[in-house]
Amino acid sequence: MCSSSPTTHRRALPFLRWNWLALALMVAAQFMTILDSSIVNVALPTIQHELGFSRIGVQAVVTAYNTAFGGALILGGRIADLLGRRRVFVAGMAAFAATSLVCGLAGNAASLVAARALQGLAAAVVAPAALSLLTTTFPEGPRRNRALSVFGVATVLGFVGGLLLGGALVGWLGWRSVFLVNVPVGAAVAALAPRLLAAAPPRRVPLDVSGAALVTAAMALIVLAPTRGAALGWTSPQCWLPLLGALGLLAAFVRVERRSPAPLVRLEVLRGAPLRVGNAVTFTLGAANGAVHLLFSMYLQQVLGYTPLQAGLAAAPMGVASLVAGLLAGRLAGRVGLRATIATATAAAALCIWLLASATAVDQRYPVLLPIIVPLSVAFIVTSVSATIAATTGVADAEQGLAGGLRQTSFQLGIAIGVALLLSIAAGGAGAATRPAALVAGFQLALRVLAALMAATSAAALVGLRGAAAGAAAPAAR
């Protein structure tokens, strides 16, 4: 059995930086789970045509994944803490590859939607396990910050990659390829993980089944509600009834957790200012990142007449900027402190989004937008990395899976709620007209609302991290 031991391989191959090979697996897993939140959007028209979905019904392909993914992240993170992160990571990656195969082979609408829900559940196991493996592999301080920089790059590149890779795959190989591409990558990661990742024994703590059921159902309803609101109207019962149900479930969850001898979420963990602010910023970032990429892609295609592949290529500079900035973001947060980094990055994002709103026009040329979208990408990645550092700072190793689940949940809720709201705002700003000028007016309104939200987030970070700023930055400065 020693052939599968990370220690044995570290002795056999001393020239390899073993922890960084392990990080590559975690980054690959994060990239895949985020990619699958966006790559399918490009394939939806083809899926609708070939499998006989209705125009509205085809959105279930996206909603099923996002609802299962966002709903089960907290549970997935806690399971990783209790059963062993490597074991859960490997099982989750194998399940993700298998469900991706089922998606790619689906022969009808119902089977594809069901497979997408199962794929989302697998992703909800993988994502927090990957993040908690990272934070327990790299000690708090400069090394963890650098690792989280790379991890943050994978998060942002997942969106850009979805636009670029999705357009290429659908154009060249058909819609099934956007799912089948996950199969060899997921299988390879699952096979390599036992050789590169250290194992931890499971903890003999019972799973809080009642708390798990309540919070998973509540999160799923919160993710589902805005998609129903965007499609059917925000006053529709299909929107506000799930939200009311989620509030009731969350109230019951808090009551259960306070009484449980082994709670799923130890509520004291939520009292740390860095964790609270980090997750709040991550929520806003999810809304901003998802909405900007989607609105920008729609603007290029619906107003400027780009093809999906051209729109993906146009987003490539955002990915390059994210890659370069992401590799330096952790070091920046360590040197100047989390408070200053988060506040400055979110303020810069607000300014860039406002400028992007002003620059969108019916006859605009793409090169004019580059000086805006490139620094915006830098601001996004610096925000992502510094917020993730905050959300995992000061959390015990035994609860890093939970911290990872909370962080990923915040991001997914931001995507689900923010994108749905901002798309509705854009549609309202455009009115019933579909002519380019009306579409541009809608995009501009949505982007300006988003800029105001990012500016408010910057102010909130300044206030929320005031007392914790020094402590949060200290480990990174050693």
pLDDT at 3 over 70: no
Percent of the chain at pLDDT > 70 equals 90
The yes-or-no verdict on residue 463 having pLDDT over 70 is yes
More confident residue, 191 or 12: 191
Res. 5 pLDDT band, cuts 50 70 90: very low
Query: Looking at residues 114-135, what average pLDDT do you find?
Result: 91
**Contact present, 395 and 405 (Cβ < 8 Å):** no
Rounded to the nearest integer, the mean pLDDT of the chain is 83
Q: Residue 66: which of 224, 255, 175, 201 has the closest Cα?
A: 224
22 or 158, which is more confident = 22
DSSP state of 435: S
Residue 291 has pLDDT above 90, yes or no: no
- 476: pLDDT strictly greater than 80: no
| Mean pLDDT computed over 156-168 | 71
- pLDDT, mean of residues 265-290: 87
Q: 230-269 as b/e, with b when 16 or more CB fall inside 10 Å?
A: bbeeeeeeebeebbebbeebbebbbebbeebeebbbeeeb
pLDDT of 356 > 50? The answer is yes
Q: Residue 12 pLDDT more than 70?
A: no
pLDDT, position 6:
44
The distance in angstroms from the start CA to the end CA of the chain is 38
Is residue 41 pLDDT above 80, yes or no? no
Q: Return the H-helix or E-strand segment holding 181.
A: none
Question: For the chain, give me the number of helices (H) and strands (E)?
Answer: 19, 0
pLDDT of residue 10: 42
Share of the chain above pLDDT 90, in %: 29
pLDDT higher than threshold 90 for residue 101:
yes
Tell me, rounded to whole angstroms, the distance of Cα 419 from its chain centroid: 13
Q: Under a CB-based contact definition with an 8 Å cutoff, are residues 415 and 33 in contact?
A: no
Helix, strand, coil proportions of the chain in percent (round to 5)?
A: 85, 0, 15
Angle at 219 between CA 214 and CA 220, to 5 degrees: 100
Report the alpha-carbon distance of residue 352 to residue 319 in Å, rounded: 16
CA dist 429 and 443 (Å) reads: 8
What is residue 431's three-state secondary structure?
Answer: coil
| Burial label, 375 (beta-carbon count in 10 A; 0-12, 13-18, 19+) | middle
Q: What is the pLDDT of residues 242-276, one digit of tens each?
A: 999 999 999 999 999 998 888 888 888 787 788 88
pLDDT at 189: 92
Give the range among 15-24, 197-206, 220-229 with minimum mean pLDDT.
15-24
- Residue 87 binned pLDDT confidence (cut-offs 50, 70, 90): very high
In this predicted structure, the answer to whether residue 208 has a pLDDT above a threshold of 70 is yes
Q: Is the pLDDT of residue 469 over 70?
A: no
Query: pLDDT (tens digit, 9 = 90+) per residue, 171-181?
Result: 778 889 989 98
244 CB-near residues (< 8 Å, 6+ apart): none
Task: Please give the Cα distance from 98 to 182 (Å, whole number).
Answer: 9
Confidence tier at 430 by pLDDT (50, 70, 90): low
Averaged pLDDT, 51-71 = 81
Which pLDDT does position 432 carry in this prediction?
Answer: 59
345 vs 342: CA distance, rounded Å: 5
Whether 60 shows a pLDDT value over 70: the answer reads yes
Between 236 and 247, the higher pLDDT residue: 247
Structural tokens at position 190: 């699952």
Kindly state the average pLDDT of the residues 306-335: 81
C-alpha separations of 293 from 45, 135, 434 in Å: 18, 28, 20
